[in-house]
Structure 1
Amino acid sequence: MIPRTIVLLGAGASRDAGAPLTSDLAEILVRKMNQSPRPGPEVQALNFVYSAMIGHQGEDGSDPLRAVNIETLVSAVRLLQARESHEVAPFVAAWKAGALGFGRASGSRAFNGRAAKSAVEKAIDHRFPNGDELANLIEGIARDVARPREDYAFKALESALLKGIRSELTNLSSVDYLRPLGDLASAQPGGLAIVTLNYDRTIEMMASEAGIELDTGIERWTPGVPFSFERKDGRINLYKLHGSVDWELIDERPNLRTVRPPKIEVVIDRADVEEFDPAAAPPRAPGLPWIVVGDREKLATDGPTLDLLHAASEAFAEATSLVVVGYSFADSHINAMVRNWMAADPTRTMTVVDPGWPSLGSDEPRGHFATAYGASDDHNQAGVIPRIAVIAESAASGLARGLDMLPSRPEVWATAEWAPDPDGGEVAIRLHGPSLANVTVEAVAGGQGVNVFASSEERSTFVPSSRRFARYVGPIEQGAQFSVFPTVPIGEDSLELTLDGDDLVGHRRISVPALIVPPVAPPNS
């Protein structure tokens, strides 16, 4: 199969352009909405939801700072709007105090006033075909008066949050660091498929500045019609699985949603356009963006999400290597797509650019992928090439290398030079392979274990499996040199060292023969 790369982008891929992460975005919007000189009921509702989620996270001693991101926040707000009809409602004896009171007066009174006025005007103009429709409308108004529209504040809050998301993700800085994606689209036959979970327009901006053709497919998407992307040299096919800040739902008629499918259009903000084609759809002030922000809506059937996900799966099937940038592996449906793609062909590989990649053994999805594909030496996989590689850097510093890099096992992990002396001498070790954590060093001379003293640490631990002493030397960066000192004279016996440590995707056990360095003759006096 011809080598072909596909790219998956998470929020971290846009961070270097000034886009906040999902966790930071929630905090930013809370702070800005509370700066309003006359905060309305939606701000009260925001403060209630945000503080309740943080408090709940801290009840069992968990980190409250990780309790809320923008997706969980919007998901909670939408759930509270439909709390009485939610499937869990019969099991909730009482909603948390405060969830029912925001915006009752202002929201309900404004709504019922408009509805009553409309009903009277229609009755006067005889636009009701029969009395039943007028009676039903009046009955609804009366019912709402008796039971106010308690969801008003939460609906207003959802709108405010969506507008805030659009605002925060629109004013971005330079996207030059993303140019390697454009270069790959130009160099790779059939262009480049980029699957993004982000709502921002960083890739569109980069493509425009670089003169790269780009297709999101959204304007030709039609519900019920097969949806696919054509590969084309020099083009980026951009699969925006969770929507975009410049997408909007048009012709939305909630009362006809059952029989009239939705349609998405790309909105151009007049403020962002210097010249535009008057024959095209005129720019206008943006409304609410079509973005999938709630955890429960990422597989929603009413919209392009599933069609985009299917099209992305087809693009994955054509690829031999995956480059993941700034994605924390927090979305289960995306993880399943990556998992299934990796499982379908043992030659497929994944390179991840992520400055926050966790240490080996982490009990989170990233740790699970590392364990599955890192080819650890303690899993009887010594010498096996890993199927995953990690560059622990930001997108700005690691993207170009990530696009060129495939998982591999270095031909030379480390070298050692030994300068013996009557006390044992000094062994200088240089690490050429990936950086290692939790490094210990074992030494053998003449078939016998030899204790060594580390220049950076003075403690050793006994390794029962080898019946030798291992000296702990701590984390070692790629390219770094460190020394160990045998504690007994060794004579002319060969000295063999074993380095034991963890890189980002696997456990490594590396044999390193120590080459004897001839003594340097003193200069002639």
Structure 2
Amino acid sequence: MSKKKSVFLFGAGATLEWGSPSTAELTEIVLKSGFSTTDGKLTLTQFIYDKLLANGFTAGSVNFETIINVVEELIVYYGKFNYAEHFDKNLLPSLLYCFFTPTFEKELLNFTVKGGEIKHGYQIQTPAGINYQHSHYAYHSEPPSQFFFQHLLNELLTSISARISSYAYHAAGHSVIDHESKISGLFVKWMQQLQPSTILRLYTLNYERIFKVLLARSDIKVFEGFDCDECVGYTDLLRANIKRIHSDSDANVHYNLHGSAFWKVLDLDKEQLPNAEIVLTAGMNLPIDNSPATFQVEKGKTLMVTNIVTGYQKAQKAMISPFKQMQAAFDRDCCFADHIFIIGYSLADEHINESVKTAIRHNPEVKIFLIDPFFIKNNRELEIALKFNPFRQTGNLSPTNVSDHVYAFMNGSFLVYALTFEEFLILQTDSKSQLAERLSIMKFPASNTIRTNWLKPGL
């Protein structure tokens, strides 16, 4: 009997019970990180935050990703055109720079060029006139303002990586992952129950390897895009197995769609030319230790190559390996999946949502399960109905209340569990669940019925 295929998409909320940070905590970390304004009164990130609020944004609409996106757009603004021909000294400014005059340069550009001369291999100082110990050398015709904001972005990503390390560090000699916790046990038990009859295709938007490690510890082999087991050798720089990511659709996998703190950006190739490559290493990587690497998906728009992808340039940054191949695998898997579990994800990334929408439209047999404890609190019924219901065209936008915590859309083909991940796992692994019996007799429009095995697919 052929196995069913289940796709699992994990967002930030999926790992909170392992100690991962909330969006609010990461925002606070970013607001306190990086360089200061020229008067030394604020961090640049706090200055950016304040200006956004002063121009119509609400506190609820600005988080760490918004702030990082501003920094990334400043890198684009100050970048130079024709990066690929960087030996040409007559580089053009970015397209935006030709049309818009900056407003806050006096406050933001708190740096000087070491030695005062802009030349091949210069370094920056920040605050202005003070040597910056993590300054790299400008070897690729980077304009100083662009180079400054590249260093700022590395500072912010380093602060995020350090927080990830506090709950997800795992190496041969030391691990902070609580393998014996209740939540770890429940997750492993669920995967073990599914695995004999199900291909496990795990995708995470987080920046760690927790689920890969837990599965490896429970003897479930999982390919993560790099050829390795639970741990990586301390001196290893593992290249992604791109051909296998492309070709192997029947293995258990764990892919980091937005990168990993365990990944490292190599800014130069073996000929010492600026062709960046991402590799997997044994431990956490701090971006401040690596020279800023850039690329252009769109001509004239300079983007940073980073091991973790945040902000609002995710879709563009997903055009390089191994992001590109992992995103393609996710898109393909959604189209052929029997079940898609969406856990702790806010539905905020449209390039991710597009794959789910495609599955709903072109994979009529797929069953989708959304686990979101804030479904009621945040009044998300309309958001889910508008984002996904039109792709199934059922004509009914309102959900059916199956139980106190379960809601059905699209004639029951899309179930929402207003539960934490731990509560959901208890439900999945508890053979005495009474909710399954209630689901087995619930009737939906067009005579559709949600059966007991809907609640516990694969069991």
Counterpart mapping for 1:446-461 below 5 A:
none
Kept after mapping to 2: 8 A contact 1:42/1:103: no
Structure 1 residues 190 and 7: CA distance shift in structure 2, 3 A: same
1:207 aligns with 2:215: yes
The aligned residue for residue 46 of structure 1 is 45
Shift of the alpha carbon at 1:113?
7.8
Match of 2:150 among 151, 155, 161: 155
Letter in 2 for 1:333: H
Question: Percent of aligned pairs with the same residue?
Answer: 19
Counterpart mapping for 1:411-490 below 5 A:
411=441
Partner Cα distance (1:318, 1:174) in 2: 34
Is the strand fraction higher in 1 or 2? 1
Shift of the alpha carbon at 1:375?
6.3
Structure 1 residues 43-66: Cα deviation after superposition (integer angstroms, max 9, x where no partner): 7422222222233344xxxxx222
Shift of the alpha carbon at 1:40?
10
Kept after mapping to 2: 8 A contact 1:190/1:231: no
Match of 1:356 among 371, 374, 377: 374
Partner Cα distance (2:258, 2:158) in 1: 16
Aligned length: 362
Secondary structure, aligned partner of 2:202: strand
TM-score by length of 1: 0.57
Secondary structure, aligned partner of 2:370: strand
Match of 2:59 among 51, 58, 65: 65
1:188 aligns with 2:196: yes
Structure 1 residues 371 and 409: CA distance shift in structure 2, 3 A: farther
1:197 aligns with 2:205: yes
Secondary structure, aligned partner of 2:268: coil
Give the 4+ runs in structure 1 shifted more than 6 A.
Answer: 38-43, 223-226, 283-286, 371-384, 403-408
Structure 1 residues 398 and 156: CA distance shift in structure 2, 3 A: same
Counterpart mapping for 1:382-393 below 5 A:
385-393=411-419
Kept after mapping to 1: 8 A contact 2:5/2:199: no
Secondary structure, aligned partner of 2:203: strand
Unmatched 5+ stretches in structure 1: 59-63, 119-136, 273-282, 414-432, 435-525
Return the structure number with greater relative CO, CA threshold 8 A, min gap 6: 2
The aligned residue for residue 500 of structure 1 is none
Partner Cα distance (2:99, 2:271) in 1: 30
Structure 1 residues 417-465: Cα deviation after superposition (integer angstroms, max 9, x where no partner): xxxxxxxxxxxxxxxx99xxxxxxxxxxxxxxxxxxxxxxxxxxxxxxx
Partner Cα distance (1:112, 1:407) in 2: 75
Partner Cα distance (1:46, 1:197) in 2: 23
Kept after mapping to 1: 8 A contact 2:10/2:205: yes
1:24 aligns with 2:25: yes
Partner Cα distance (2:122, 2:350) in 1: 48
Shift of the alpha carbon at 1:168?
0.7
Shift of the alpha carbon at 1:228?
3.6
1:315 aligns with 2:316: no
Kept after mapping to 2: 8 A contact 1:81/1:155: yes
TM-score by length of 2: 0.65
Unmatched 5+ stretches in structure 2: 79-92, 124-137, 168-176, 227-237, 291-305, 401-407, 444-448, 451-459
Letter in 2 for 1:30: L
Structure 1 residues 348 and 161: CA distance shift in structure 2, 3 A: same
The aligned residue for residue 227 of structure 1 is 246
Structure 1 residues 156-213: Cα deviation after superposition (integer angstroms, max 9, x where no partner): 2111111111111111164642444434443334641101111123223423543433
1:263 aligns with 2:277: yes
Shift of the alpha carbon at 1:380?
13
Secondary structure, aligned partner of 2:325: helix
Structure 1 residues 77-132: Cα deviation after superposition (integer angstroms, max 9, x where no partner): 1211231444434442x322246752232xx23574885899xxxxxxxxxxxxxx
Shift of the alpha carbon at 1:214?
2.7
Structure 1 residues 285 and 150: CA distance shift in structure 2, 3 A: closer
Match of 1:334 among 352, 359, 375: 352
Kept after mapping to 1: 8 A contact 2:245/2:326: no
The aligned residue for residue 248 of structure 1 is 264
Shift of the alpha carbon at 1:11?
0.8
Task: Please report the RMSD computed on the Cα atoms of aligned residues, expressed in angstroms.
Answer: 4.5
Structure 1 residues 212 and 347: CA distance shift in structure 2, 3 A: closer
Letter in 2 for 1:55: A
Kept after mapping to 2: 8 A contact 1:330/1:365: no
Letter in 1 for 2:47: F
Letter in 2 for 1:238: H
Partner Cα distance (1:409, 1:308) in 2: 35
